[in-house]
Structure 1
Amino acid sequence: MSVHDPAWDPAQYLRHAGHRARPFADLLARVPALPGDRPRVADLGCGPGNVTALLADRWPTAHITGYDNSPAMLDKAVVDHQGPTPGGGRLDFTPADARTWTPGEPHDLIVSNATLQWVPGHPDRFADWVAGLRPGGTFAFQVPGNFSAPSHRLMRELAGSARRRDRLADVLRHEDAVLAPEAYLERLTGLGCAADVWETTYIHLLTGEDPVLDWVKGTGLRPVLTALADDPAAREEFLTEYRAALREAYPAGPHGTPLPFRRIFAVATKEA
């Protein structure tokens, strides 16, 4: 089992689609005008395609390709979103892995939303992606910066317990899954880009029973759920303990359960 290859569930992921899409919208708001009249755009880690479709709203004439290494996510994206766009562009999806993908043609925009945290050493890929941009093109991404939050810390503590250590200790990501904002700024400016890097902590108000557990089932908990897929008893035992810990760490209020979620953003524009 590799930490990079959890089994994904598009339906579970999309249960919180509104909250998950907001950081992507905030990222796109900082992307400047693109150099091409009919921009070529890549979305690395497109998932089920729901936010990739937002790119066609911003750049109606663009040819946009979403890339992902999850067949389940790509199947959902193709069914729901692939085809011509109303503005005369096109939206399509194809298998690829951000660990190895390199632009095969000049791009106006390469964007990645909540994906690079799954790619160890992802800053080392920046040079190839920036090299694949047209002059004046942009590389933009957003990653979670919440690996020290209770949701992740408690997950790691349970996975690292004596009775689970052999099976789960190495499947989860730690705080070094992403860089500090200052380090991203240094990397991107070092590649000759004008870079805008910032961080935001969202306070998502979640509703329903055990909503924080429901949230992480769609993302951060996927490696554990995948590793225990062949042992339903061990999986349910983990979920029972984790559910109780999350209820204490994220108490419900009168209007829902607040979930603070820090994210790191970067927009890097290549010199024209």
Structure 2
Amino acid sequence: MTTPTWDPTQYLRHADHRARPFTDLLARVPDLPGDPPLIADLGCGPGNMTAVLAARWPTARITGYDNSAEMLDKAQVEYAGLTSGGGHLDFAHADVRTWAPSQPYDLIVSNATLQWVPGHVERFADWIAGLAPGGTFAFQVPGNFDSPSHRLMRELAESMGLAGTLRHDDAVLAPQAYLAALADLGCEVDAWETTYVHLLQGRDPVLDWVEGTGLRPVLTALAGDPPAREEFMGAYRAALREAYPAGPHGTPFPFRRIFAVARRAR
């Protein structure tokens, strides 16, 4: 899989729709043991959802971690600093594939990031061990890798000699597999899935959506070949229009998400 470059502006174009799974995830997070709590946000992106953590726990010391300089620059400018309750929000570079807690955290959270980390379940043991007693590890990942948006993307990429550029439908596990993995680590686990039906507006809105996320590896791989990029985008645009036809109120875009909230024993 190609390591993508990121465009914070493009990613934030559908910020309202992208925010809902995270707020639904946080609604299931129990009270945190620390006062003030210590929180890590793995894969914080442009920081807009990390700021939601500060609104929920205004006294907390929160660090958002990401490996994209573009995303971190945006987050640092927009959100770093003291929070309304006297807490602190900052951002730092880290690779989720190797990041390990250096002190006990009350909450380790990850929003739409672990699908980019092959074998991420193998990291769970270190992260659970890095929680304070009674602390929580919570995450959500997209579960739509077999949907038309991603299947068509992979098929077209492979037809253009870009096999291996994109993730496949084994990028994430089923909710019951996450539940079993986290329960084996001694956690009390809540795992579930939800399919949101986002009603998108504008011309080619599904293409606009994936340009901020799932399509980034292809755009990165073709950055030095404008004709090939144009060929890919033209064919993919046409395929998406057929797969996701616009209706009278916009373009319905079903999007499955997978959630898990794991609480360490006190």
What is the TM-score when the length of structure 1 is the normalising length?
Answer: 0.97
**Which of 232, 241, 249 is the matching residue for 2:235?**
241
In angstroms, what is the RMSD of aligned CA positions? 0.5
Q: Distance in 1 between matches of 2:14 and 2:125?
A: 33
Q: Distance in 2 between matches of 1:11 and 1:115?
A: 18
Amino acid at match of 2:26: L
Question: Are 1:170 and 2:167 an aligned pair?
Answer: no
Deviations 1:193-251 (A, max 9, x none): 00000000000000001000000000000000000000011001100000000000000
Deviations 1:157-211 (A, max 9, x none): 10111xx12xx11110001100111110000000000000000000000000100
Question: Are 1:192 and 2:186 an aligned pair?
Answer: yes
Q: Distance in 2 between matches of 1:56 and 1:228?
A: 38
Structure 1 residue ranges (4+ consecutive) displaced by more than 4 angstroms after TM superposition: none
Q: Partner of 1:57 in structure 2?
A: 55
Amino acid at match of 1:53: A
**Which of 217, 224, 235 is the matching residue for 1:230?**
224
Deviations 1:127-158 (A, max 9, x none): 00000000000000000000000000000110
1:1-272 to structure 2, matched below 5 A, reads 2-3=1-2, 5-161=3-159, 164-165=160-161, 168-272=162-266
Q: CA deviation at 1:122?
A: 0.1
Q: Distance in 2 between matches of 1:204 and 1:87?
A: 34
| Identical pairs, percent | 76
SS in 2 for 1:109: strand
Amino acid at match of 1:156: R
5+ residue gaps in structure 1?
none
Q: CA deviation at 1:37?
A: 1.1
Q: CA deviation at 1:49?
A: 0.2
What is the TM-score when the length of structure 2 is the normalising length?
Answer: 0.99
